[in-house]
Amino acid sequence: MPKLAQRMSRAKPSTIMLIAEKARQLKAEGRDIISFSIGVPNFLPGPHVYQAVRDWLDKDSGSYGSNRGSADLLDAFLEHMKGVGLDGYTRENCAVAVGAKHILYNLAEALLDDGDEMAFPTPYWTSYLDIAEILGAKVKLLPCPPEQHYKLTPAQLDEALASKPKIFLFNNPSNPTGMVYTKEEIAALADVLVKHPDTWVVTDDIYNRMVFDGVGYHNFVQARPELRERVIFVDSMSKTYGMPGWRVGMMAGPKAVADAVVTLNSNHITNIPEVASVAAAAALSGPQDVPTEKRAEFAKRRDLVVDILNGIEGVKCPRPQGAFYAFPDISCAFGKSHNGKRLENDVDVCTALLEAKGVACVPGSAFGEPRGLRISYTCPADELEPGMQRIRDFFAELS
């Protein structure tokens, strides 16, 4: 048999998907499983979204759509951007693709040559590393341990950009930690970015509507408008509108970058399915009850999760202020045993937790921080507290 391309030896399936699959399998075998593994919203978009789709089906011509994205969706996205302080962009600055993951892949393809460097903070969303590896890019990881609340400091950024990476990839609010940068922290990082004109800044802000405690969502372009010519804002319909399966992601940035994504679209996908565009435009431009209600609900869930975690002796969980993840430092369990099994690392802890208590979490090493473990608190409401109690019991049983 002829060989696969060399790049496939660097491509691997997502760890999160593997754990979610294992949890699904155990459930199918009749085990009582609570899954805190995958970040899937447990809600659907509002009724107006489905109505817009029904209306559109009657008119559908079945023809190809625009490589950039439909005008209605681009306009709805531009309105949302104004709402978060990103004014003055036009359709030409934007492009739509099959989810933010596809946007990020397109951006990496459009901006990186072989061997170029991409820098990003750790813990990171798993696909950042996978995308870089598939494309043969070098990766510079910027460690942000729990002691600094998983946040990047201006000094770290300044040092990292000295080697002129082609892309600095930033994620706010963060998956997996739920950390949100304050206005002052964003301004301080933006001041550093201004000093490093050779680096593109890709800011993956898909949880920008999911911010708690009144901290608000802030971005580099608001802080330093001159960064507009290098910053690419990434957004998605998946998480806050309960639409992950519709696969709609968007970007806004310099026209040349948006045009490059459009060119890649024209070769890869032509256009995202029109039905998904219609649904996304309706969700963005219609009533915002779903994201608003969910934000309040997730803030309450966050409190429950973090309070239980920080009540466990030795576990430390910096308080997330956004997204729907908690990322406790569970290294206190390393070297201890559960049911006679010694736990050496985060993978051992997650495996024992799943086997003994039926709770699925993702090991922190999947995100580049092996002292952690990610809890996604989007499960059905009646599973959250029992699942957290099982985690508490698990730690109490360590010897």
Site residues (vs ligand PLP, CB under 6 A): 39, 99-101, 125, 171, 175, 204, 206, 236, 238, 244, 249
**Cβ of residue 325: shortest distance to ligand PLP, in angstroms?**
8
**Cβ of residue 108: shortest distance to ligand PLP, in angstroms?**
13
**224 burial via Cβ count (<10 Å: 0-12, 13-18, 19+):** middle
Q: Report the residue number, 101 or 166, with the smaller CB distance to ligand PLP.
A: 101
DSSP 246: G
Q: Report the residue number, 268 or 390, with the smaller CB distance to ligand PLP.
A: 268
* Strand ranges inside 230-298, DSSP E: 231-236, 249-252
**Cβ of residue 120: shortest distance to ligand PLP, in angstroms?**
11
**Cβ of residue 118: shortest distance to ligand PLP, in angstroms?**
15
Q: For residue 60, give Cα distances in angstroms to 47, 113, 273, 277.
A: 20, 40, 12, 12
**Cβ of residue 203: shortest distance to ligand PLP, in angstroms?**
11
Q: Report the residue number, 70 or 126, with the smaller CB distance to ligand PLP.
A: 126
**Cβ of residue 192: shortest distance to ligand PLP, in angstroms?**
22
Name the token pair of 139. Answer: 């990766």
Q: Report the residue number, 202 or 312, with the smaller CB distance to ligand PLP.
A: 202
Alpha-carbon gap, residue 380 to 357, rounded angstroms: 17
**Cβ of residue 237: shortest distance to ligand PLP, in angstroms?**
7
The owner of tokens 């508490």 is: 392
Amino acid in the structure at residue 384: L
**Cβ of residue 30: shortest distance to ligand PLP, in angstroms?**
29
Alpha-carbon gap, residue 18 to 362, rounded angstroms: 10
Q: Is 358 left (phi over 0), alpha (psi -120 to 50) or beta?
A: left
State the helix-helix crossing angle for 346-357 and 15-28, rounded to 10 degrees. Answer: 20
Q: What is the DSSP track for 95-154? A: EEESSHHHHHHHHHHHH--TT-EEEEEES--HHHHHHHHHTT-EEEEEE--GGGTT---H
**Cβ of residue 40: shortest distance to ligand PLP, in angstroms?**
9
Name the token pair of 304. Answer: 């429950």
192 near 220, Cβ under 8 Å? Answer: no
Alpha-carbon gap, residue 234 to 104, rounded angstroms: 8
Q: What is the spatial order of strands in the sheet that 373-376 belongs to?
A: 325-326, 373-376, 362-363
Q: Report the residue number, 66 or 236, with the smaller CB distance to ligand PLP.
A: 236
Q: Which residue is nearest to ligand PLP (CB)?
A: 99
Q: Report the residue number, 239 or 357, with the smaller CB distance to ligand PLP.
A: 239
